[in-house]
Amino acid sequence: EVFLAESGGGLVKPGGSLRLSCEASGFSFQYYYMNWVRQAPGKGLEWVSSIPPSGNYIHYADSVKGRFTISRDNAKRSLYLQLNSLGAEDTAVYFCARGLGEKGHFDSWGQGTLVTVSS
């Protein structure tokens, strides 16, 4: 069974940084695209970033470009998201999701980790 478990969320001050992790199990992690999607409290879903199996040709939403960095360690079956220069607008639950291809839907999701940016 596919399982994705996010961690690393918490309370951070504006301008601060945080690193999220997503640990995968139950499938061959090294062959799949992986994504981060976030959801602000009471709002809809927003795609944040995607990374291919090889780790190159990474894509970001304009709202996070230059501030967030996605990465992966296939040996550790883990996905990461480095969040820098955080603002209140980044407060959200961050989900990792398995993608089916370069342009593909997301067939498995983690339970999410909450990031709160507040002074």
Partner 1 sequence: DIQMTQSPSTLSASVGDRVTITCRASQSISRWLAWYQQKPGKAPKLLIYDASSLESGVPSRFSGSGSGTEFTLAINSLQPDDFATYYCHQYTSYSQTFGPGTKVELK
Instruction: Draw the binding track, 33-52, toward partner 1 (x: CB under 8 A; -: no contact).
Output: ----x------xxxx--x--
**Interface with partner 1, residue 88, by CB under 8 A:** no
Closest approach of Cβ 82 to partner 1, in Å?
Answer: 20
Q: How far apart are CA 96 and CA 22, in angstroms?
A: 6
Closest approach of Cβ 74 to partner 1, in Å?
Answer: 21
Per CB under 8 A, the segment of 7-15, 18-26, 58-66, 76-84 that binds partner 1 is 58-66
**Interface with partner 1, residue 26, by CB under 8 A:** no
Closest approach of Cβ 103 to partner 1, in Å?
Answer: 5
| DSSP states along the chain | --EEEEE--EEE-TT--EEEEEEEESS-GGGSEEEEEEE-TTS-EEEEEEE-TTS-S-EE-TTTTTTEEEEEEGGGTEEEEEE-S--GGG-EEEEEEEESSTT--EEEE---EEEEE--
Q: According to CB under 8 A, which one of 8, 71, 112, 116 is a site residue for partner 1?
A: 112
- Residues lying near partner 1 in the complex (CB under 8 A) are found at 37, 44-47, 50, 59, 61-62, 95, 100, 103-112
